[in-house]
Amino acid sequence: MHHDRIVTERRLARVLDLRLRPAVYRESLPLDIAAWTVPGEPVPVSEGIGAPYEPVRTGTPWGPAWSTTWFRISGTVPAGWAGQRVEAVLDLGFGATQPGFSAEGLVYRPDGSPVKALNPRNAWLPITERAEGGEQFVYHIEAAANPVIFDSGSGDDPFVPTPAGGVPPWLSGETAPGTPLYRLNRMDLAVFDPTVWELVQDLDVLSGLMHQLPEDSTRRWQLVHAVDRALDAIDLQDIGGTAERARDVLAPALASPAHAGAHRVSAVGHAHIDTAWLWPVRETVRKAARTVSNVTALMDDHPGFRFVMSQAQQLAWLKEQRPEVFARVVEKVRTGQFIPTGSLWIEPDTNLSGGESLVRQFVHGKRFYLEEFGVETEDMWLPDTFGYNAALPQLMKLAGIKWFLTQKISWNATNSFPHHTFWWEGIDGTRIFSHFPPVDSYNGDLSGADIGHTERNFRDKGPANRSLVPFGYGDGGGGPTREMLARARRLENLEGSARIEMEGPAEFFTKAQAEYTDAPVWSGELYLELHRGTLTSQLATKQGNRRSEHLLREAELWSATASLRTGLPYPYELLDRVWKTVLLHQFHDILPGTSIAWVHREAEAVYAETARELGEVIDSAQRALAASGADGAAGETVFNAAPHTRDGIPALGASPRERAARPVEPRPAPGGGFVLDNGLVRVTVDARGLITSAYDLAAGREALAPGTFGNLLQLHQDFPNQWDAWDVDAFYRNTVRDLTEADEVVAVPGGVRVVRGFNASRITQVLRLGEDSRRLDVETDVDWQECEKILKAAFPLDVRAAESSAEIPFGHVRRPTHTNTSWDSARFEICAHRYLHVEEPGWGAALVNDSSYGHDVTRDVRPDGGTTTTVRLSLLRAPLFPDPDCDRGEHRLRYGLVIGAGLRDAVREGYHFNLPERAVPGGAPVEPLVRLAGGTAADVVIETVKLADDRSGRVVVRLYESAGGRARATLRAGFPLAAAQITDLLERELTDEPAPVVEGQDVQLTLRPFQILTLCLTPGE
């Protein structure tokens, strides 16, 4: 007979959606409902349960944006339902949006213990497994009215600017309650039919598999016929009575085993919960409680279910604020079902976070898992961040990590990454076994589409045959569902499909590494060819982070010094708390500037408080040091927290100021404008405030290319195709407005002030040149009122630079300045921390900054045969989504051009620019706790000096080789030295490293290129 496959597939889809899924609940009746609206921020569970409820009914509107409503549901199981499973079906007003992006709820028993969460993909509540009839019940629902700010499945533009992400009225001083967002759709008690539900899962899996198989494959046609016969077996007027018959028809198709060479999939439950994004941090605490309540309840019914949670901060919140939920985590960790993973405090942005911050991400993450669960995590799980710096492999190894997992590189817009399983090699040569799940998602659902795509997409077929799928609803949380677990069970060994095995990351990586013994190597950074705008969006957040990182360095350094020298108590608890706060705000949707306005306004307030607290710690320690042994000496002591000597002040030490370095005074230039000349370099500023010359007097050469201007401010249209705050698309360069007109160019004490007004914005800059410095500083105040623009500062340099060297954590990366390949061309916006350096043999220049990360470098050959290498900083953006006021307002930032700079100069000036001197009353010099000397010590940088976390009084010194070559140096302790150990990042001795050679107070060091070394020094008597 003839058979039309498409007819059967369409028939199946219609019967599933319109008849079978609704028939899972064959009888229902309405529940009794009452509600109480919280007048402000969320309240404790006990207060919500004990609140004064008022009766409501389905159809009732509720929930102004960001508000909370508590619902009480109650009822009695009818006697006629005896012997059946009874559930409540609770639709709070869910739309066709993703879980965790709209209305959400957490259900509690009257005693306050959580049951499970509610969201658009999980709207059921168990009442009784086998009803006796007459059971009475009461539950409470904490319902969150989170506005839908982004909905990629809506069919409309998901990037429409909206004020919904602003601070809610009750926190901003307003009292207007706002318009309700949701309406109670269904609050019913219902009989659950397990046979119909299982039939739905059978057909769901076979449908998904059918659509993934080739149209002419035998297996697909076998499934088509099996489905056709099963549909014939169903009486649509008696689905419950005929469902078992249909399942019997399908049983042989579901029992046919996969072939021996089928792809192996390790499926692990996951719920990527953004620590903030389209919701504030406080809502993430509740999202974590909802998701964990869901997955631990599933574990009770599914012993083989494995679930990973990768952010220690979220578990710490549960421990502190929701101990009853955390107790369930502890229980399931013991059974091996709940797997702490990832080794990080939160999932940070790894482009923008500083080196020591990344160290502390590992330290605090791994310590939490060790202390709370006794688990030593061995993987770095970071699926969703916007690029991965090339220092990470070494940091992972030093934290005791063997394996790395991410997914985001699959989002590359230009080049497809060539591997899914490989060794990732960092700038120092460290290699980490790595995996990119070929499912191309960290929110998989184990559908036929997921599994089919996984097998087809896997790029290492042949030598390898194993991949990992993280499944469960994420971003806004939710996690796996019982439907996903049903799919996993059916796909364990099913013909035509990959084999699925439920197991954790360690099991997967162990098997994958044993199987793929000659996996390929990828060397260098993992650059994401997308989301380049994250290097610039939300300047205030980035400034807060950068300044907090340097303040923490100072607070630890001076507190450790004061503790050893004066006995001042070391502020362990404060530093621990502040570090965790800073690490939290390095989350990959906060620091990159891609969260709603509420998140960023809150971050700015947090950074201000952090600066206040750390400023007090630094001031207290410095005053104690400056006063010690002063014998009444007057004057002031100047502290230098930088790792390089400055103006005669030792690195990491202090001394009385003899003479302060001052900026040179401008003198008029012929024809208008001004000249800044200190005998080392001469900078000429014309009447328009443009730098027309930056002359290196010692080298006898001009830094700027002929006919160009330095510090040229350029304004581009910046309207990417999507992901506004995230993206800068290459076509932004097609149009540019050079800001060459000045409202004012005048000499001021120690510099030249230039004021430029454009559109509704205004920029005031002061150009300064220190009397003994090669660095021209540009102090910039901006009143930024632009819309969908990006502001750049350009320096066209007369240098033929084949590469640029950009600072990353604990070193630098070199990137070509040409665009020979599509990989080179795609890096049109790059990340640099404190410096970006370009050079040709014998001469170079560097840009340093105090808060900018986005840069671009281009190279052109001029008609005269010379080469112009243009280096630009990205200063400000003005995207409208998700924060329509992103960056609008007043900003202060600094950057500088170092003329005639080698790489060593760039490293030094980057630190000096970000760690200004501090002067306090007193006249006592302060000998550094440690100093470097000898050999190639100038290339060794001391990043951190602190006291050991175990409170033993040991001094921890973290240093690294900064130039990319071998280095020998002597580390001299400024105190009696009893012993020295090389440790991992958690300050545990590394036995596989040669013991350091200690000679008196000296420790002899030999470092590999870019090697990071952590030393624990035990003071002697």
Which residues are the active-site residues?
Answer: 384
* DSSP sequence for 19-49: IIHHHTEEEEEEPEEEEEE-SSS---HHHHH
Residue type for position 439: V
d(CA 455, CA 452): 5
Count other C-beta atoms under 10 Å from residue 483's C-beta: 18
Query: Among residues 410, 526, 512, 424, which one has the least CA distance to residue 468?
Result: 512
Give the 3-state secondary structure of residue 225: helix
Query: Among residues 770, 581, 618, which one has the least CA distance to residue 683?
Result: 770
CB-based contacts of 399, cutoff 8 Å, min separation 6: 343, 359, 362, 363, 366, 984, 985, 986
Q: How many CA atoms lie within 13 A of 655 on its CB side?
A: 14
Tokens representing residue 739 in the block: 């800001």
d(CA 264, CA 438): 12
Burial (0-12, 13-18, 19+ Cβ within 10 Å), 345: buried
Query: Among residues 774, 834, 775, 784, which one has the least CA distance to residue 806?
Result: 834
Q: For residue 873, give the H/E element and its range.
A: strand 867-877
Query: Among residues 539, 480, 638, 569, which one has the least CA distance to residue 854?
Result: 539
Q: How many CA atoms lie within 13 A of 688 on its CB side?
A: 12
* Cis before 569 (ω within 30): no
Structure-token match 């671009």, residue found:
856
8 A C-beta contact, residue 796 and residue 854: no
d(CA 388, CA 433): 15
8 A C-beta contact, residue 227 and residue 12: yes
Structure-token match 């792809």, residue found:
263
- Which residues on neighbouring strands pair with residue 526, listed in sequence order? 388
Cα–Cα–Cα angle for 34, 37, 40, rounded to 5 degrees? 165
What per-residue string of b and e applies to 534-550 under the rule 16 or more CB within 10 Å gives b?
bbbbbbbbbbbbbbbbb
Count other C-beta atoms under 10 Å from residue 452's C-beta: 19
8 A C-beta contact, residue 990 and residue 1012: no
d(CA 10, CA 7): 5
d(CA 716, CA 732): 6
d(CA 835, CA 549): 16
- 3-state helix vs strand vs coil in the chain, percent to 5: 30, 30, 40
- The number of helix segments (H) and strand segments (E) in the chain equals 19, 53
8 A C-beta contact, residue 29 and residue 78: yes
CB-based contacts of 241, cutoff 8 Å, min separation 6: 235
Burial (0-12, 13-18, 19+ Cβ within 10 Å), 80: exposed
Query: Among residues 773, 774, 805, which one has the least CA distance to residue 701?
Result: 774
